[in-house]
Amino acid sequence: MAATLFRDYEITLDKPDEDFKINWGDIISVDFDLRLKHRRV
């Protein structure tokens, strides 16, 4: 999932969009939550 987000971000860098904003905090928190859930299983 995170890889897809980063891949989309790289594509956006190639085609700059002023309206595009990425919230690294949300990505990190989502990745962290996924890792916690994986460990619990």
User: Would you state the pLDDT for residue 40?
Assistant: 66
Find the domain containing 30 and state its range.
2-40
Number of domains making up the chain: 1
- Rounded average pLDDT per 10-residue block, the chain, 41 residues: 56 56 70 76 60
Q: What angle do CA 26, 35, 22 make, to 5 degrees?
A: 20
Q: How far is CA 20 from the centre of its chain?
A: 13
User: Would you state the pLDDT for residue 35?
Assistant: 78
